Protein backbone atom coordinates (compact mmCIF):
# COMPACT_ATOMS: atom_id res chain seq x y z
CA UNK A 1 0.00 0.00 0.00
CA UNK A 2 1.22 3.50 -0.84
CA UNK A 3 2.01 5.79 2.10
CA UNK A 4 -0.64 8.42 2.82
CA UNK A 5 0.35 12.09 2.69
CA UNK A 6 -1.48 15.30 3.51
CA UNK A 7 -0.51 18.47 1.64
CA UNK A 8 -1.98 21.18 3.84
CA UNK A 9 -2.05 24.03 1.29
CA UNK A 10 -2.24 24.36 -2.48
CA UNK A 11 0.88 23.26 -4.37
CA UNK A 12 1.88 23.13 -8.06
CA UNK A 13 0.68 20.33 -10.35
CA UNK A 14 4.30 19.17 -10.77
CA UNK A 15 4.63 18.90 -6.98
CA UNK A 16 1.53 16.74 -6.83
CA UNK A 17 2.86 14.62 -9.70
CA UNK A 18 6.07 13.96 -7.74
CA UNK A 19 4.13 12.93 -4.65
CA UNK A 20 1.44 10.97 -6.52
CA UNK A 21 4.06 8.73 -8.10
CA UNK A 22 4.89 7.28 -4.69
CA UNK A 23 2.13 8.27 -2.24
CA UNK A 24 -1.63 8.49 -1.84
CA UNK A 25 -2.10 12.27 -1.62
CA UNK A 26 -4.82 14.34 0.05
CA UNK A 27 -4.07 17.89 -1.09
CA UNK A 28 -5.84 21.02 0.05
CA UNK A 29 -5.91 22.54 -3.44
CA UNK A 30 -8.75 24.85 -2.32
CA UNK A 31 -6.01 26.48 -0.20
CA UNK A 32 -8.22 27.21 2.81
CA UNK A 33 -6.24 27.57 6.02
CA UNK A 34 -6.91 24.63 8.38
CA UNK A 35 -7.53 25.24 12.05
CA UNK A 36 -5.52 23.00 14.39
CA UNK A 37 -8.49 20.64 14.78
CA UNK A 38 -9.01 20.47 11.01
CA UNK A 39 -5.32 19.80 10.48
CA UNK A 40 -5.39 17.00 13.06
CA UNK A 41 -8.55 15.52 11.49
CA UNK A 42 -6.96 15.60 8.02
CA UNK A 43 -3.79 13.97 9.34
CA UNK A 44 -5.58 10.88 10.66
CA UNK A 45 -4.23 7.80 8.87
CA UNK A 46 -1.45 9.84 7.21
CA UNK A 47 2.25 9.05 7.51
CA UNK A 48 3.45 12.24 5.82
CA UNK A 49 2.55 15.93 6.08
CA UNK A 50 3.73 18.57 3.61
CA UNK A 51 2.88 21.76 5.47
CA UNK A 52 3.16 25.52 5.14
CA UNK A 53 5.02 27.71 7.62
CA UNK A 54 1.60 28.88 8.85
CA UNK A 55 0.75 25.37 10.16
CA UNK A 56 1.80 24.70 13.74
CA UNK A 57 3.07 21.24 14.58
CA UNK A 58 3.56 20.91 18.32
CA UNK A 59 3.48 18.11 20.89
CA UNK A 60 -0.33 18.31 21.14
CA UNK A 61 -0.77 17.86 17.39
CA UNK A 62 1.80 15.06 17.25
CA UNK A 63 0.12 13.18 20.10
CA UNK A 64 -3.17 13.27 18.20
CA UNK A 65 -1.52 11.98 14.99
CA UNK A 66 0.40 8.89 16.13
CA UNK A 67 0.88 7.51 12.59
CA UNK A 68 2.88 10.52 11.39
CA UNK A 69 6.49 9.80 10.35
CA UNK A 70 7.52 12.99 8.51
CA UNK A 71 6.61 16.67 8.78
CA UNK A 72 7.94 18.43 5.69
CA UNK A 73 7.87 22.21 5.86
CA UNK A 74 7.57 24.25 2.66
CA UNK A 75 9.91 26.97 3.90
CA UNK A 76 13.35 27.44 5.37
CA UNK A 77 12.15 28.93 8.68
CA UNK A 78 10.72 26.16 10.86
CA UNK A 79 9.72 27.91 14.08
CA UNK A 80 6.21 26.54 13.38
CA UNK A 81 7.49 23.02 14.13
CA UNK A 82 8.46 21.83 17.60
CA UNK A 83 11.48 19.83 16.40
CA UNK A 84 12.39 18.34 19.83
CA UNK A 85 8.78 17.15 20.18
CA UNK A 86 9.07 15.51 16.73
CA UNK A 87 12.39 13.90 17.70
CA UNK A 88 10.95 12.56 20.96
CA UNK A 89 8.23 10.80 18.94
CA UNK A 90 10.52 9.59 16.14
CA UNK A 91 8.93 11.96 13.60
CA UNK A 92 11.28 13.39 10.97
CA UNK A 93 11.15 17.16 10.39
CA UNK A 94 12.50 18.84 7.26
CA UNK A 95 12.70 22.29 5.69
CA UNK A 96 13.77 23.80 2.34
CA UNK A 97 17.07 25.64 2.76
CA UNK A 98 19.14 26.87 -0.17
CA UNK A 99 16.52 27.02 -2.90
CA UNK A 100 15.16 30.39 -1.77
CA UNK A 101 18.40 32.14 -0.80
CA UNK A 102 18.83 34.28 -3.92
CA UNK A 103 15.16 35.23 -4.23
CA UNK A 104 14.98 36.33 -0.59
CA UNK A 105 18.23 38.29 -0.99
CA UNK A 106 16.80 40.00 -4.09
CA UNK A 107 13.63 40.90 -2.24
CA UNK A 108 15.56 42.16 0.75
CA UNK A 109 17.36 44.56 -1.53
CA UNK A 110 14.05 45.55 -3.11
CA UNK A 111 12.72 46.49 0.33
CA UNK A 112 15.92 48.35 1.18
CA UNK A 113 15.66 50.48 -1.96
CA UNK A 114 11.88 50.93 -1.77
CA UNK A 115 12.16 52.10 1.85
CA UNK A 116 15.20 54.36 1.48
CA UNK A 117 13.88 55.95 -1.72
CA UNK A 118 10.22 56.11 -0.59
CA UNK A 119 9.02 54.21 -3.66
CA UNK A 120 5.63 53.03 -2.39
CA UNK A 121 4.88 56.45 -0.87
CA UNK A 122 5.61 57.98 -4.26
CA UNK A 123 3.34 55.51 -6.02
CA UNK A 124 0.51 56.21 -3.58
CA UNK A 125 0.95 59.95 -4.19
CA UNK A 126 0.72 59.46 -7.95
CA UNK A 127 -2.26 57.10 -7.75
CA UNK A 128 -4.13 59.49 -5.47
CA UNK A 129 -4.11 62.11 -8.24
CA UNK A 130 -2.28 64.63 -6.03
CA UNK A 131 0.92 64.85 -8.07
CA UNK A 132 1.36 68.37 -9.41
CA UNK A 133 4.75 67.82 -11.03
CA UNK A 134 8.31 67.27 -10.00
CA UNK A 135 10.12 69.75 -7.72
CA UNK A 136 13.55 69.89 -6.14
CA UNK A 137 12.68 68.85 -2.60
CA UNK A 138 10.01 66.33 -3.47
CA UNK A 139 9.99 63.15 -1.34
CA UNK A 140 13.67 63.25 -0.56
CA UNK A 141 15.00 59.88 0.46
CA UNK A 142 18.25 58.31 1.59
CA UNK A 143 20.92 56.87 -0.69
CA UNK A 144 21.54 53.15 -0.60
CA UNK A 145 24.89 53.26 -2.35
CA UNK A 146 27.71 54.03 0.02
CA UNK A 147 25.56 53.49 3.11
CA UNK A 148 26.55 51.27 6.04
CA UNK A 149 24.52 48.05 5.97
CA UNK A 150 24.12 46.17 9.25
CA UNK A 151 23.14 42.53 8.71
CA UNK A 152 21.75 40.73 11.74
CA UNK A 153 21.94 36.99 10.99
CA UNK A 154 24.83 36.09 8.68
CA UNK A 155 23.68 32.70 7.41
CA UNK A 156 23.17 31.79 3.76
CA UNK A 157 20.75 34.63 3.06
CA UNK A 158 22.72 37.20 5.06
CA UNK A 159 25.88 36.37 3.13
CA UNK A 160 24.04 36.61 -0.18
CA UNK A 161 22.65 40.03 0.81
CA UNK A 162 26.23 41.08 1.67
CA UNK A 163 27.35 40.07 -1.83
CA UNK A 164 24.52 42.15 -3.35
CA UNK A 165 25.56 45.07 -1.10
CA UNK A 166 29.12 45.15 -2.39
CA UNK A 167 27.68 46.10 -5.81
CA UNK A 168 26.24 49.16 -4.10
CA UNK A 169 29.61 50.10 -2.57
CA UNK A 170 28.17 49.67 0.90
CA UNK A 171 30.15 49.24 4.08
CA UNK A 172 29.04 45.89 5.54
CA UNK A 173 28.90 45.17 9.24
CA UNK A 174 27.17 42.13 10.72
CA UNK A 175 26.08 40.46 13.90
CA UNK A 176 25.59 36.73 14.28
CA UNK A 177 25.30 34.35 17.23
CA UNK A 178 28.65 32.91 16.16
CA UNK A 179 31.22 34.92 14.29
CA UNK A 180 31.58 33.52 10.76
CA UNK A 181 34.76 32.06 9.32
CA UNK A 182 37.50 34.68 8.91
CA UNK A 183 37.99 33.78 5.23
CA UNK A 184 34.28 34.32 4.50
CA UNK A 185 34.34 37.58 6.47
CA UNK A 186 37.27 38.74 4.35
CA UNK A 187 35.69 37.68 1.05
CA UNK A 188 32.49 39.57 1.94
CA UNK A 189 34.45 42.53 3.36
CA UNK A 190 32.14 42.23 6.36
CA UNK A 191 33.14 43.39 9.84
CA UNK A 192 31.75 41.77 12.99
CA UNK A 193 29.95 43.90 15.59
CA UNK A 194 28.02 43.29 18.78
CA UNK A 195 24.29 43.83 18.22
CA UNK A 196 24.40 47.08 20.18
CA UNK A 197 27.37 48.44 18.22
CA UNK A 198 25.76 47.45 14.90
CA UNK A 199 22.50 49.19 15.79
CA UNK A 200 24.36 52.38 16.64
CA UNK A 201 26.48 52.38 13.50
CA UNK A 202 24.31 51.11 10.62
CA UNK A 203 22.36 53.35 8.26
CA UNK A 204 20.28 50.33 7.26
CA UNK A 205 19.67 47.36 9.58
CA UNK A 206 18.51 44.15 7.89
CA UNK A 207 17.13 41.33 10.04
CA UNK A 208 17.78 37.85 8.67
CA UNK A 209 18.01 35.80 11.83
CA UNK A 210 15.77 32.78 12.54
CA UNK A 211 12.93 33.19 15.02
CA UNK A 212 13.25 31.30 18.31
CA UNK A 213 12.53 32.09 21.95
CA UNK A 214 16.07 33.55 22.03
CA UNK A 215 15.34 36.02 19.21
CA UNK A 216 11.83 36.96 20.42
CA UNK A 217 11.66 40.78 20.51
CA UNK A 218 15.39 40.97 19.80
CA UNK A 219 14.50 44.43 18.48
CA UNK A 220 12.35 46.25 21.01
CA UNK A 221 12.14 49.80 22.35
CA UNK A 222 15.62 49.65 23.94
CA UNK A 223 17.28 48.44 20.73
CA UNK A 224 15.36 50.92 18.54
CA UNK A 225 16.61 53.67 20.84
CA UNK A 226 20.19 52.69 19.95
CA UNK A 227 19.58 53.24 16.22
CA UNK A 228 20.31 56.51 14.47
CA UNK A 229 17.35 58.85 13.89
CA UNK A 230 18.21 58.58 10.18
CA UNK A 231 18.30 54.75 10.21
CA UNK A 232 16.11 52.29 8.34
CA UNK A 233 15.03 48.88 9.69
CA UNK A 234 14.23 46.00 7.30
CA UNK A 235 12.64 42.74 8.50
CA UNK A 236 12.36 39.86 6.04
CA UNK A 237 13.04 37.16 8.65
CA UNK A 238 10.07 36.46 10.93
CA UNK A 239 7.44 38.33 12.87
CA UNK A 240 8.20 38.30 16.58
CA UNK A 241 11.87 39.19 16.14
CA UNK A 242 10.68 42.80 16.24
CA UNK A 243 8.31 44.13 18.88
CA UNK A 244 5.85 45.61 16.38
CA UNK A 245 4.17 47.95 18.90
CA UNK A 246 7.57 49.37 19.88
CA UNK A 247 8.48 49.79 16.21
CA UNK A 248 5.25 51.67 15.52
CA UNK A 249 6.07 53.95 18.45
CA UNK A 250 9.59 54.58 17.13
CA UNK A 251 8.39 55.26 13.57
CA UNK A 252 5.63 57.58 14.78
CA UNK A 253 8.03 59.55 16.98
CA UNK A 254 10.66 59.50 14.20
CA UNK A 255 13.15 57.89 16.58
CA UNK A 256 14.11 55.97 13.43
CA UNK A 257 13.53 57.25 9.90
CA UNK A 258 11.67 54.38 8.24
CA UNK A 259 11.09 50.63 8.09
CA UNK A 260 10.48 48.04 5.39
CA UNK A 261 8.63 44.94 6.54
CA UNK A 262 7.69 41.62 4.97
CA UNK A 263 6.81 39.81 8.20
CA UNK A 264 4.72 40.64 11.28
CA UNK A 265 3.81 39.41 14.73
CA UNK A 266 0.80 37.07 14.70
CA UNK A 267 0.53 36.76 10.91
CA UNK A 268 -1.80 37.03 9.13
CA UNK A 269 -3.20 39.33 11.81
CA UNK A 270 -1.54 42.65 11.52
CA UNK A 271 -0.97 45.60 13.84
CA UNK A 272 -3.19 48.26 12.23
CA UNK A 273 -0.91 50.97 13.65
CA UNK A 274 1.39 50.40 10.66
CA UNK A 275 -1.35 51.52 8.27
CA UNK A 276 -1.37 55.06 9.69
CA UNK A 277 2.34 55.56 8.98
CA UNK A 278 3.87 56.98 5.80
CA UNK A 279 7.39 55.94 6.74
CA UNK A 280 6.91 52.18 6.46
CA UNK A 281 6.88 49.96 3.38
CA UNK A 282 4.68 46.91 3.93
CA UNK A 283 4.51 43.63 2.06
CA UNK A 284 2.67 40.40 2.89
CA UNK A 285 5.42 37.80 3.49
CA UNK A 286 6.50 37.64 -0.16
CA UNK A 287 10.29 37.51 0.05
CA UNK A 288 10.57 34.01 -1.45
CA UNK A 289 7.60 34.42 -3.80
CA UNK A 290 9.09 34.17 -7.27
CA UNK A 291 7.50 31.41 -9.32
CA UNK A 292 10.69 29.36 -9.83
CA UNK A 293 11.60 29.63 -6.16
CA UNK A 294 8.18 28.73 -4.81
CA UNK A 295 8.17 25.73 -7.18
CA UNK A 296 11.63 24.71 -5.99
CA UNK A 297 10.47 25.01 -2.35
CA UNK A 298 7.39 22.87 -2.92
CA UNK A 299 9.33 20.24 -4.90
CA UNK A 300 12.08 20.13 -2.26
CA UNK A 301 9.46 19.57 0.44
CA UNK A 302 7.86 16.81 -1.67
CA UNK A 303 11.25 15.11 -2.15
CA UNK A 304 12.00 15.32 1.56
CA UNK A 305 8.65 13.66 2.30
CA UNK A 306 9.13 10.95 -0.32
CA UNK A 307 12.63 10.14 0.94
CA UNK A 308 11.35 9.69 4.49
CA UNK A 309 8.46 7.46 3.43
CA UNK A 310 10.53 5.24 1.15
CA UNK A 311 13.19 4.33 3.69
CA UNK A 312 15.68 7.05 2.76
CA UNK A 313 17.15 9.95 4.68
CA UNK A 314 15.60 13.27 3.58
CA UNK A 315 18.28 15.68 2.32
CA UNK A 316 17.09 18.46 4.64
CA UNK A 317 16.51 16.51 7.82
CA UNK A 318 16.43 18.78 10.88
CA UNK A 319 16.55 15.95 13.42
CA UNK A 320 19.07 13.35 12.17
CA UNK A 321 18.54 11.35 15.39
CA UNK A 322 15.26 10.10 13.89
CA UNK A 323 17.10 8.55 10.93
CA UNK A 324 19.65 6.74 13.07
CA UNK A 325 16.95 5.54 15.47
CA UNK A 326 14.94 3.57 12.88
C1 LIG B 1 10.53 30.73 4.69
O2 LIG B 1 10.89 29.90 3.86
O3 LIG B 1 10.75 30.59 5.88
C4 LIG B 1 9.84 31.94 4.18
O5 LIG B 1 9.59 32.85 5.18
C6 LIG B 1 8.56 31.54 3.48
O7 LIG B 1 7.58 31.21 4.41
The 3-state DSSP composition of the chain as helix, strand, coil percent (nearest 5) reads 40, 15, 45
Residue 95 CA, closest ligand 1 atom number: 2
For the full predicted model, state whether its pTM sits above 0.85. yes
Is residue 253 packed enough to be buried (19+ CB in 10 Å), middle (13-18) or exposed (0-12)? exposed
Q: How far apart are CA 275 and CA 282, in angstroms?
A: 9
Provide mean pLDDT across the span 257-282.
96
| C-alpha 136 to ligand 1 mean position (Å) | 40
Q: What is the CATH number that goes with domain 4-99+291-324?
A: 3.40.50.720
pLDDT per residue as tens digits for the range 67-124: 999 999 999 999 999 999 999 999 999 999 999 999 999 999 999 999 999 999 999 9
Phi and psi at residue 98, in whole multiples of 5°? 90, -55
Phi and psi at residue 122, in whole multiples of 5°? -65, -40
Per-residue model confidence (pLDDT) at position 324: 82
User: Does the CB atom of residue 319 touch ligand 1 within 6 A?
Assistant: no
Ligand 1 atom 6 nearest Cα: 75
Per-residue model confidence (pLDDT) at position 230: 98
For a mutational test of ligand 1's pocket, the pick from 77, 103, 268, 316, i.e. the residue with the most ligand atoms closer than 8 A to its C-beta, is 77
Q: What is the CATH number that goes with domain 101-282?
A: 3.40.50.720
Q: Would the pLDDT of 301 be above 90?
A: yes
| C-alpha 196 to ligand 1 mean position (Å) | 27
pLDDT per residue as tens digits for the range 23-82: 999 999 999 999 999 999 999 999 999 999 999 999 999 999 999 999 999 999 999 999
User: Does the CB atom of residue 309 touch ligand 1 within 6 A?
Assistant: no
User: Does the CB atom of residue 298 touch ligand 1 within 6 A?
Assistant: no
**Residues acting as catalytic residues:** 238, 267, 285
Provide mean pLDDT across the span 287-308.
98
Residue 285 CA, closest ligand 1 atom number: 5
325 pLDDT band, cuts 50/70/90, is confident
Per-residue model confidence (pLDDT) at position 237: 98
User: Does the CB atom of residue 77 touch ligand 1 within 6 A?
Assistant: yes
In the chain, CATH 3.40.50.720 covers 4-99+291-324, 101-282
Amino acid sequence: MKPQVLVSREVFDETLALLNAVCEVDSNQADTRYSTDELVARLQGKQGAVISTADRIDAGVLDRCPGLRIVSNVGVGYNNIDVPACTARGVMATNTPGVLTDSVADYTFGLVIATCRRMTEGEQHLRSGDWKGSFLKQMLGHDVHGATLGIVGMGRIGQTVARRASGFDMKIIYHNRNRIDAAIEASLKAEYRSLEALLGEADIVVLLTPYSPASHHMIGAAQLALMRPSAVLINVARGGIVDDAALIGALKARRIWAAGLDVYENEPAFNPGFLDLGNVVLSPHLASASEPTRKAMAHTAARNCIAALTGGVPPNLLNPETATAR
